[in-house]
A = this chain, B = another copy of it.
Amino acid sequence: MNVNATDEEVAGVLRHVRERGFEPIELPGADRLAIGVLGSNPGSIRDAIVDLPGVVEAIPVSKPYKQVTREWHPESTVVDVSGVCIGDGSFTVMAGPCAVENREQMLSTARAVRDAGAAIIRGGAFKPRTSPYSFQGLGLAGLDFLSEARTATGLRVVTEVVTPGDVEVVAGTADMLQVGTRNAQNFALLEAVGDSGRPVLLKRGLSNTIEEWLLAAEYVVAHGNPDVVLCERGIRTFEAYTRNTLDLSAVPVVKSLSHLPVVVDPSHATGHRHLVAPMALAALAAGADGVLIEVHPDPERALSDGAQSLNFAMFEELMAQIRRLSLALDRQLATVPSPAGEAVQG
């Protein structure tokens, strides 16, 4: 309450809180009076009271998300992507081109990243592009190439779905569905992937707070799908040297607030090839459950995001560094289960 709030104004707020079915408690301070609001979901009346006469502020105390919090579910969630586990303490490397361009590109990349130690291949068949005149992806043909790469290498597939109507067809190929940064608050899409039965890789929205990101995950979980992997991929700030600003401290924040696994995408976050390796290693050191790395056979000729893609040799070198650092941190690389149930490599 305002320091000069009248008795009448105080009574008005108390009455208002009670009318809405909550219990008000008066908390006199040295300068001003605070009024606590008790009950279930008290945040729901915040809007109603914030501009009542005499009120200075209405501060929410309880959190609006529940199922994704560690408070409600203390054990860490392990997401099983067709046998590749994320969140079990191992470090999962997902790699591949920004966009699926053709059969040869996908197969050669899949072989290269598997040989270097990745467990999951990425590649966009449906591409959300800022400009209507940019390459929008191969669509269904792209899914076929991903499927073929999966068969050829054993790698699991993660690929993006951009609209609810495509969820079924993409889920027919993908082991994990990606929701991209521009769709991070496309609630109809979050509900659709929640209904899909597939693990979901949920990128943080460009300007989403950690709370909004967790609420987006809550949409998926509330639709019956507990298998959500969060992906930090940079937020929008004033700094223009990097494509976005990688908010790496979000990793330990999310690990403390939520039981869901969290991975990092240094390629999209930085937008520059020479920043990818340092930030991937930093993600590992900060406790991330994995990374998502753009790799292309010939980055300078990529149809999208070439500037931030590693070529095969750079990726191999990065994997060697990751192995060495993992060892020092007592962590193992996640591996693809072999057909007989054993790891293909590790």
> What residues of chain A have their CB less than 8 Å away from a CB belonging to chain B?
2-4, 16, 25, 27-32, 34, 36, 38-42, 46-52, 56-57, 59, 61-62, 64-65, 71-72, 74, 128-133, 162-165, 182-183, 185-189, 206-207, 209-212, 215, 218-219, 222-223, 235-242, 245-253, 256, 266, 269-270, 272-275, 278-279, 281-287, 299-302, 304-308, 324-325, 327-329
Contacts and interface: CB of A to CB of B under 8 A. Distances in A.
A248 B253 CA distance: 15
A241 B253 contact: yes
A284 B62 CA distance: 36
25 contacts: A4-B74, A30-B41, A47-B306, A51-B273, A51-B307, A65-B131, A129-B187, A130-B185, A132-B218, A163-B186, A164-B164, A182-B186, A183-B185, A207-B207, A211-B241, A235-B239, A237-B238, A237-B247, A240-B240, A242-B249, A249-B270, A251-B278, A282-B286, A285-B285, A325-B328
A277 to B, nearest CB: 8
A238 B236 contact: yes
Contacts of A25: 27
A278 B274 contact: no
Nearest to A325: B328
A41 to B, nearest CB: 8
A47 B302 contact: yes
A281 B248 CA distance: 12
A195 to B, nearest CB: 13
